[in-house]
Each structure stands twice: as structure tokens, then as C-alpha cells.
Amino acid sequence: MTLWRIGYSARLLKTNRFRTAASNTSFPAVWMLLAQYSGRVPGLFVVVKKNNFFTMPETVEDKANLELYLPHPEVRGMTRLNREAFKRTVVVPVLKVKKEIVNTLLKSLKHTVLQRPGLKRVVEDPEDEDSRLVILDPHKIPEFSLGESDQEVLKQLNVHPEVSKYNLELTYENFKSEEILRAVLPEGQEVTSGFSRVGHIAHLNLRDHQLPYRHLIGQVIIDKNPGITCVVNKTNIIDSTYRNFQMEVLAGESNLVTKVKENNITYELDFSKVYWNPRLSTEHGRIVELLKPSDVLFDVFAGIGPFAIPAAKKKCRVFANDLNPESYSWLLHNCKLNKVDNKIKAFNMDGRDFLLGPVREELSRELPLLKEEQKTSFHIVMNLPALAIEFLDVFRHLLAGEPCSAAGLPTVHCYGFSKHDDPARDVRERAEASLGTSLDGRCSTYLVRNVAPNKEMLCISFQIPAEVLYKRPCPDGAIPASKRLCSSRDFSEEKLELKKS
């Protein structure tokens, strides 16, 4: 073991040049300045005595960056991943310990020992096969000297409290994805390390300034996330008739048929052809939780079945529809996969046609048969937030005849986006405009998620008012048969006219 030249270091401290540099440097980094003035001394690690300054082996990495967990600065601007370029050497504090007590020491100094996934906390002692070097966290002991409490622990374990310096080599494998991307992308620009996971696929929404690095970003995500074998980036907004979007495969295999599990139910899908958003799992569960066995669910924009299938599992009767032929096909597939194909009637129709056809037929048949004590409820889910509120006008006079009991009126759960300062009021007012009536005191709004800055996704739930849903028979008289059906409001006005006459 080699000791540094203390006398030279002491003289160095007296020089004006060093004092000027040190005055602008934090105390933990002063020893780094010594390294720049003193030259290199052979040896893997050196003893550091408390309250003394010592120089350390000078390396390019040490001069370039004093942070422990930052990749080499030369990777800045890299667009094609070169893992070898991330190698660098940093100096970390270590304790020399007899190998028999290593485990005891790790437990006793667990808050001081290095805790870094992928990095060994204990390494071989190159000078003593009976000893080990325990790596300490340099952020916990920046002055390379242990605190009194740690020294007391070492005293009890009969371990000499001298802290040594060790050259630790870091490689690409030792850095986290965010650290890698922050080192590569231009300084000050936003770093994307988060993504939506859909089975083996990672789905990104990259910003324009990140696009030159997109293939590198994709490969880093695959490297750092076990099970991810494909990374895609959305290339346009979801504005197609079928709610899917164009995407580019950034890294990995081009297989976009995947399997996901949500709320203990398995779904299979082609992510490039159907809509799936893992951020909606909580909302799917919330709505299904409202349902009771024997309830009836009409899912107007069903997708591959995240509302319909768990509802059927709950012994509800389900009518599920989607306009996208691919979604319809995967809906049928997932119904069989989850063994509920005999409990779900699936349709491949426009949402408006579905409401005017199968939904109206079923409600016309079922609602007149409801008894006061009957516990069956009817729910209509409309999860197409960009357009669903515009479909609410379909409920105007959807049914004919006398209204059912208030308890039997169907409950609608309709989703919408809002950029308004008061998104709940905005969604309610738009729903009221479509329905032609006030929902004040007759609805609830639920904030589902923040979609983008100043853009919220909400769910408005309400029972369809009887005066909206029903078109009642008009009184007999001189009224032509072609006009015998009218709304509740028309009916009241007609009675008034008859009285006057």
C-alpha cells in the first residue's frame, strides 16, 4: 500500500493558485483539486487519514465530471447507441474488512454502504485474500471520513475506521435509463424515460426535439426494462374513425400482437390496429364495480372489451359494439379467451346505429316489464371521449309509451375531453345541449385523468330523464294517426289545448 506525499500536499495548500481554486469549490471537492496538482501515484487504493488532505489518481473522468452516477460527457449528442462509450472510472470510499464479518458489517452500516442496483457492494481486496473491500456511498461520506456513530459501530466490530479510495469502473449496465438519456440529449431539454407498457411493447410519445435520438431511446428502454422487446412511437394523434394511430417501431422486433392483463383479466390484441390504453385500467374497474349481477350493460364503443368482459364475468348481460372491424374481431376473440362468449352479444356497427337499433329494442322490451321491486339496472357506457357527448342526442325520444319507474331509467356513463377552466361544468353543459334538458342536480362528473397540459378526461354519469327518453302517446281526437306519438312536453301542451277548446 502506498501513502501520498503529505508534505507536498501541505505546501500545495499554501499556494495562491490553489487557494483561488479552492475558494470557489465545495469542501468535498477540495481533494479533487489536489488531484489536479499533484500527479499520479501507483496503487489501486490509498489510505486516507481523518483531517488530512490527500491527492488521488488523476483520471480524465474525474476532471470531466465529479458526479458519481453520470455517464462520460463525451456521449452527449450520440444518436446511435455505443455502449462502450459509457465506461468511466470514479473514486469511491471503501472499508477494509475481514471477510468473516462482511455480512454483519453490511447490516450494521446499511445506511452508509453503497446501495446501487447493478453495482457490487463488496469486492476483492487485491492485497489480502482474507479481507474484502466494502464500498461506501460517497454521497453519505463526502469527506471520505465516517461519522461518530459509524465509527462506534466499527469499534464494536473491531474494524479499523480508516477509509480508503477505490477506483470503481462504471459501464453502460450500471446507469439507469434516465441517466443515460439525460447525458445523451442536449442539456436543458426534456428527457423521456417514461412510457406506456402494453405487453411486450413500450409505447412512447416523443417530442420533436427528441426525434433525432428516437432509435437510441428505444434501444435504451429495451435494455433497461426486462420483458420489453419492441418500442414504438406514435406518429400522429388519434383522429381516425377507428381510434387507432400510426406508429413507428423504434427498436426491437416488429411484432405488435401482444397480450396484456388488466384487473385479473387477460386480453390479446394487435396494438397497431386497435385502441388500448393501460392508463384506463382504474376507470374500467370503477365502472364495473358499480354493476351488480343481473344488470344489463350496453357498451357503445367497446373496443376489445375492457368494460364488457369483466361485466360479463360479474354475471351481467352485456351488449358490446365497436365500429372498427379489427376491434370487433379481437372482442370476439377475447370473449372466447375469457369464456364469456355466451354472455356477450357483440355488434360491429356505428355507435348511433347501435343505440337506435339493438339498444332501443332491448330497452323497449325490458323496461315495460320492470316491477318496482325488481333490482335490475341498465347502464350505457360511451367511452369515445373525443365524440361521445355528441351522440347523447340519440336519447331524445328514443322510446315510446309510458315512462318506466324512475329507478328503471338507464344510467349513462359518457366520457369527454375538456380544456375548459371548469372542465366539469363544461362537460355538463355540453351534455345538456345534446340532451335538450338540464342535468343540474341530476348528474355526477368524475375526473378520469389528465391527458395533456390543460386537457382533462372526464366521465359524466346520469340517469336519462324520462321527459328526454320517452315519446308518449298523444290523446285521441282530431290528431292524425301519423302524429299520435309525442313527447311528455307535447302531451301536456295538447291537454291544455283540449281544455281550452
What does the alpha-carbon distance between residue 203 and residue 154 come to, in Å, rounded to a whole number?
Answer: 49
Cα–Cα distances in Å, from 112 out to 16, 119, 142, 362?
A: 36, 15, 11, 68
pLDDT in the model for residue 270: 96
Q: Do residues 133 and 95 lie in contact, with contact meaning Cβ atoms separated by under 8 Å? A: yes
125 is annotated as contributing to ligand binding: no
Identify the H or E element spanning 35.
helix 30-38
Identify the H or E element spanning 283.
helix 281-290
Q: Do residues 488 and 472 lie in contact, with contact meaning Cβ atoms separated by under 8 Å? A: yes
What does the alpha-carbon distance between residue 408 and residue 368 come to, in Å, rounded to a whole number?
Answer: 9
Provide the residue ranges of all domains of the chain, joining segments of one domain with +. Answer: 6-174, 183-255, 280-471
Give SS3 for 279.
helix
What does the alpha-carbon distance between residue 215 and residue 236 come to, in Å, rounded to a whole number?
Answer: 18
322 is annotated as contributing to ligand binding: yes
What does the alpha-carbon distance between residue 139 and residue 28 come to, in Å, rounded to a whole number?
Answer: 10
What does the alpha-carbon distance between residue 211 and residue 209 come to, in Å, rounded to a whole number?
Answer: 6
pTM of the model: 0.73
Q: For residue range 65-121, what is the model confidence (pLDDT) as tens digits?
A: 346 678 888 899 999 999 999 998 888 899 899 988 889 888 888 888 888 878 888
The topology under which CATH files domain 280-471 is: Rossmann fold (3.40.50)
**Bridge-based pairing state of the strands 443-452 and 399-400:** unpaired
pLDDT in the model for residue 115: 83
CATH of 183-255, one of 3.90.79.10, 1.10.2020.10, 3.30.300.110, 3.90.226.10: 3.30.300.110
383 is annotated as contributing to ligand binding: yes
Spatial strand order of the sheet with 88-98 comes to: 47-48, 163-170, 88-98, 131-135, 122-124
What does the alpha-carbon distance between residue 48 and residue 144 come to, in Å, rounded to a whole number?
Answer: 7
Per-residue pLDDT of the chain (501 residues; tens, 9 = 90+): 333 333 333 444 444 444 444 444 443 443 343 334 333 333 344 433 333 322 333 333 333 334 667 888 889 999 999 999 999 888 889 989 998 888 988 888 888 888 887 888 899 988 888 899 999 988 888 777 788 888 888 888 888 888 888 888 889 998 889 889 999 999 888 887 678 999 999 999 898 889 999 999 999 999 999 999 999 998 766 545 666 667 899 999 999 999 999 999 999 999 999 999 999 999 999 999 999 999 999 999 999 999 999 999 999 999 999 999 999 999 999 999 999 999 999 999 999 999 999 999 999 999 988 876 677 899 999 999 999 999 999 999 999 988 888 889 999 999 999 999 999 999 999 999 999 999 999 999 999 999 988 999 999 999 999 999 998 665 554 445 444 444 444 434 433 343 343
Helical H segments across 367-476, by residue range: 423-435, 466-469
pLDDT in the model for residue 499: 38
Helical H segments across 52-207, by residue range: 60-64, 102-108, 148-156, 177-184
Q: Cα angle at 258 between 384 and 302, to 5 degrees?
A: 25
24 is annotated as contributing to ligand binding: no
Indicate if the alpha-carbon torsion angle 136, 137, 143, 149 is positive or negative. negative
357 is annotated as contributing to ligand binding: no
323 is annotated as contributing to ligand binding: yes
